[in-house]
Amino acid sequence: MTGRLDPRESWSAIDRCSIGKALDVLRNRSTFLLMREAFYGTTRFEDFAERVGLSDPVTAARLRELVDEGLLEREDYREPGKRTRQRYRLTEKGSDLLPTLVALMQWGDRWENDGGGVELRHQGCGAKVGVELRCADGHALDAGDMELAARRRRRAGP
Amino acid sequence: MTGRLDPRESWSAIDRCSIGKALDVLRNRSTFLLMREAFYGTTRFEDFAERVGLSDPVTAARLRELVDEGLLEREDYREPGKRTRQRYRLTEKGSDLLPTLVALMQWGDRWENDGGGVELRHQGCGAKVGVELRCADGHALDAGDMELAARRRRRAGP
């Protein structure tokens, strides 16, 4: 990447990096994979546990974190003749992780998988779905076209 | 996401998911943050350790993993009058993680940060950089426009 912030020694990303803050929420592999399952349509506790390959206690802890962080929400549901149970649904905050998961899938497809797995396709035209780097004005770009700039942190009060 | 694979019970993503395989490489928070630093222009061991806030032994272990996995490469360099040292550079495989990191940054900007941090801008027009979901035919889309499909795993020999 060109245009790194200058002078490089005058700042550090440690305490104010949005990537770091995102990873404080998405703490580990199983968190990402539970979110993947939610996108794939999984809603029930036992399906999350089985499909990600986690023990019940770990599944419970991770799902609780995802609810506490606002990525999933729990709701009651009841099938005819059965007792009330709970299911998990993506919130807006959780749904907004889709580009991150698609980006990981795209990288894994290219570098770590032999063409197996599942594929996302555009319903309209059937073409494979991926992520692209674009600027807010709509220009497609790659790393060489970007520069880093410091954003001013909002401060509380005078 | 609509169009989930049907019947849902007939398959599982556990053993062939590209997201899972990607996360087998990007094992933890510090791995992601070391890759972020590489994109920001960091090349030297002590700068990685300081800028990510890791101990020397942890930095050494993580950088070794990233070299072993082919995301970074080590090379010798020598400044005039000084001894030969090593620096780390992004490989093509490592560089290809940029969309994933930008997607995480975008999510963190929106949901976990108060407007502080750094920002990626398009050098040409100055507009903010982000990721977009698009299909291979160039259509912009969101979760509702996608469907999951199974890809056939390549098999070895007859």
Confidence at A3, pLDDT banded by 50, 70, 90: very low
Please indicate if any CB of chain A lies within 8 Å of the CB of B61.
Answer: no
For chain A, report the end-to-end CA distance as a whole number of angstroms. 37
Distance CA B148, CA B150 (A): 7
Q: How many residues does chain A have?
A: 158
Please say if the pLDDT value at position A1 is more than 60: no
pLDDT digits (tens, 9 = 90+) for A28-50: 899 999 999 999 899 999 999 99
Please say if the pLDDT value at position A27 is more than 90: no
Q: Are A37 and B150 in contact (CB under 8 A)?
A: no
Provide the token pair at B90: 């992004």
Q: Which residues pair with B134 in a beta bridge?
A: A130, B140
Full set of structural domains in chain B with CATH: 16-145 (1.10.10.10)
Beta strand ranges found along chain B (DSSP E): 72-77, 85-90, 118-122, 129-135, 146-150
Report which of residues B114 and B18 the model is more confident about.
Answer: B18
Of chain B, the percentage scoring pLDDT greater than 90 comes to: 53
Q: What number of C-beta contacts closer than 8 Å exist between A and B?
A: 321
Q: Looking at residues B40-68, what average pLDDT do you find?
A: 95
Confidence at B79, pLDDT banded by 50, 70, 90: confident
pLDDT digits (tens, 9 = 90+) for A45-74: 999 999 999 999 999 999 999 999 999 999
Please indicate if any CB of chain A lies within 8 Å of the CB of B68.
Answer: no
Q: Which residues pair with B118 in a beta bridge?
A: A150
Most confident listed range (A66-70, A117-121, A137-141): A66-70
pTM here? Answer: 0.86
CA B3 from centroid of its chain's CA atoms: 27
Establish whether this prediction's ipTM goes over 0.90.
no
Provide the token pair at A50: 């089985």
Residues in A touching B134 (Cβ below 8 Å): 129-132
Which stretch of DSSP H or E encloses residue A20? helix A18-25
Q: Chain A 12-41, CB below 8 Å of chain B: which residues?
A: 12-14, 16-29, 32-33, 36-37, 39-41
Q: Are A123 and B147 in contact (CB under 8 A)?
A: yes
Q: Are A133 and B110 in contact (CB under 8 A)?
A: no
Q: What are the φ/ψ torsions at residue A109 (nearest 5 degrees)?
A: -55, -45
Distance CA A82, CA A63 (A): 23
What does DSSP say about strands B146-150 and B129-135: parallel, antiparallel, or unpaired?
A: unpaired
Residues 6+ apart with CB under 8 A from A3: A146, A147, A148, B123
Distance CA A95, CA A91 (A): 6
Distance CA A61, CA A65 (A): 6
